């Protein structure tokens, strides 16, 4: 008999500003599971659902799959409790937070995906749940291999709450094309999801198929570092350039992984904006977070992007331990001098997650307020105005 699964993104107090994980972790996962059974999907960050409706959908399911990010960990646990009260569905947690502390999440969920590629787990559970036993230890699954880039599912627009998503990002669809990263920045969760020193890419033809099927949209082609595999990045650009109807797209890479040739190819295939992590210009902080980007490479990258007509966008962090007001202001005025678009975000202390012993400790990650990390000399007004810089 076909298994039934429901994917549920936990509730959050405010609407999300970034939809990447909603398209990829929730949507693409559900699309893959749907190849092997019946799948339902709810995104509680944008949808309101009556508790009675949730209960009956949980009751109908064999599995409840919950992507868990640190900022929604406590509401994910409440969902697991509701699922258990409602019926006999097995609950499963996956995502960044469980990968960093699988034992803690195992207290609340029947199955937890530690490291590795979760699509394989959904596939096994939907087809033959007993087969997962060989790959799990006390309910924690790890290292199940990776999905062939040709088989990566597309975001399932028929299942996702697209009206709500398009209100948040008008005219734009997102698709994930890369997992893993050769770098190891201390503040980034990617290494806990894909610990090996490698990257996995969506097959360029698979990407083009999604784009062709959805005319009239701009695309956020989500990558860890788009130009990390140069051959693949060039092939994607060539395929995009040969589309009958040109598209507009944006992505993310490292500024030290850009050069005149690749930027030219990206531009001619419709790329209009590239985000890259700077985080901070203070050398001692760059060492600390293992993200070293020199002023020379930033200046060179920004100038090249501007010359090709692509908007550069710098990602920056507020609240790195040891950061001072002077560090923040010097970083800002340097990027202002390059006239670069800036997106400041609060530092997330992921390093604390592996040693957490109580789910309530995740309250500190919730996005209920600005955290006002202690940055000596920086006023609350300055802190908030940086975070509210137009995104």
DSSP state of 22: I
Pick the closer one to ligand SF4 by CB: 140 or 298. Answer: 298
Please state the closest distance from residue 347 (CB atom) to ligand SF4, in A.
13
Instruction: Indicate left, alpha or beta for 146 from its phi (over 0: left) and psi (-120 to 50: alpha).
Output: beta
Please state the closest distance from residue 195 (CB atom) to ligand SF4, in A.
12
HSE-CB for 290 with a 13 A CA cutoff = 8
H/E run at residue 330: helix 325-337
Q: Does 313 help bind ligand SF4 (rule: CB under 6 A)?
A: no
H/E run at residue 84: helix 73-86
Spatial separation of the C-alpha atoms in residues 352 and 153, rounded to whole Å? 33
Encode 224-259: b = buried (16+ Cβ within 10 Å), e = exposed.
bbbbbbeebbbbbbeebeeeeeebebbbbbbbbbbe
HSE-CB for 283 with a 13 A CA cutoff = 2
| Of the candidate residues 161, 204, 270, 277, the single one contacting ligand SF4 (CB under 6 A) | 277
Please state the closest distance from residue 94 (CB atom) to ligand SF4, in A.
19
* C-beta neighbour count of 263 within 10 angstroms: 21
Please state the closest distance from residue 345 (CB atom) to ligand SF4, in A.
12
24: Cβ contacts below 8 Å, ≥ 6 apart: 155, 174, 175, 176, 222
Please state the closest distance from residue 17 (CB atom) to ligand SF4, in A.
18
Q: Does 188 help bind ligand SF4 (rule: CB under 6 A)?
A: yes
CB under 6 A: which stretch of 6-14, 180-188, 213-221, 262-270 binds ligand SF4?
180-188
| Of the candidate residues 89, 126, 132, 185, the single one contacting ligand SF4 (CB under 6 A) | 185
The alpha helices in 118-229, defined as continuous H runs, are: 118-127, 162-168, 190-193, 204-213
Pick the closer one to ligand SF4 by CB: 132 or 282. Answer: 282
Size of the site for ligand SF4 (CB under 6 A): 10
Considering only residues 197-256, where is the footprint of ligand SF4 by CB under 6 A?
224-225, 254
Q: Does 179 help bind ligand SF4 (rule: CB under 6 A)?
A: no
Pick the closer one to ligand SF4 by CB: 145 or 198. Answer: 198
Q: Does 184 help bind ligand SF4 (rule: CB under 6 A)?
A: yes
Pick the closer one to ligand SF4 by CB: 35 or 117. Answer: 117
Q: Does 190 help bind ligand SF4 (rule: CB under 6 A)?
A: yes
Instruction: Indicate left, alpha or beta for 377 from its phi (over 0: left) and psi (-120 to 50: alpha).
Output: left
Please state the closest distance from residue 209 (CB atom) to ligand SF4, in A.
25
DSSP state of 296: H
Please state the closest distance from residue 178 (CB atom) to ligand SF4, in A.
9
Counts of helices then strands in the chain (DSSP H, E): 16, 15
Please state the closest distance from residue 292 (CB atom) to ligand SF4, in A.
11
Give contact residues for ligand SF4 (rule: CB under 6 A): 181, 183-185, 188, 190, 224-225, 254, 277
């Amino acid at each position: 008999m076909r298994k039934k699964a429901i994917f549920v993104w936990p509730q959050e107090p405010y609407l999300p500003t970034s939809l990447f994980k909603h398209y990829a972790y929730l949507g693409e996962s559900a699309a893959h599971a749907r190849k092997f059974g019946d799948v339902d999907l709810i995104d509680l960050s944008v949808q309101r659902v009556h508790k009675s409706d949730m209960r009956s959908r949980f009751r109908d399911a064999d599995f409840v799959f919950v992507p868990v990010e640190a900022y929604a960990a406590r509401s994910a646990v409440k969902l697991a409790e509701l699922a258990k009260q409602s019926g006999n569905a097995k609950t499963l947690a996956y995502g960044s937070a469980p990968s960093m502390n699988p034992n803690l999440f195992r207290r609340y969920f029947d199955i937890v995906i530690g490291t590795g590629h979760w699509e394989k787990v959904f596939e096994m559970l939907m087809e033959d749940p007993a087969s997962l036993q060989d790959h799990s230890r006390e309910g924690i699954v790890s290292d199940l291999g990776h999905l062939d880039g040709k088989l990566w599912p597309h975001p399932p627009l028929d299942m996702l709450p697209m009206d709500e998503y398009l209100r948040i990002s008008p005219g734009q669809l997102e698709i994930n094309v890369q997992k893993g990263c050769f770098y190891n920045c201390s503040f980034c969760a990617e290494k806990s999801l894909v610990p090996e020193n490698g990257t996995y890419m969506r097959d360029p033809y698979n990407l083009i198929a999604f784009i062709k099927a959805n005319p009239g949209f701009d695309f956020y082609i989500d990558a860890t570092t788009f130009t990390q595999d140069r051959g693949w990045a060039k092939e994607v650009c060539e395929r995009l350039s040969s589309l009958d109807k040109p598209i507009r797209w944006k992505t993310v890479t490292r500024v030290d992984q850009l050069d005149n040739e690749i930027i030219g190819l990206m531009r001619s295939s419709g790329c209009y904006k590239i985000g890259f992590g700077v985080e901070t210009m203070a050398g001692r902080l760059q060492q600390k977070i293992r993200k070293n980007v020199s002023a020379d490479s930033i200046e060179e990258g920004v100038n090249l992007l501007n010359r090709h007509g692509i908007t550069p966008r710098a990602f920056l962090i507020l609240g790195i331990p040891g950061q001072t007001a002077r560090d923040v202001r010097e970083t800002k005025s340097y990027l202002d001098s390059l006239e670069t678009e800036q997106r400041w975000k609060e530092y997330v202390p992921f390093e604390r997650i592996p040693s957490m012993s109580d789910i309530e400790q995740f309250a500190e990650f919730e996005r209920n307020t600005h955290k006002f990390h202690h940055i000596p000399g920086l006023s609350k007004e300055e802190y908030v105005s940086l975070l509210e810089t137009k995104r």
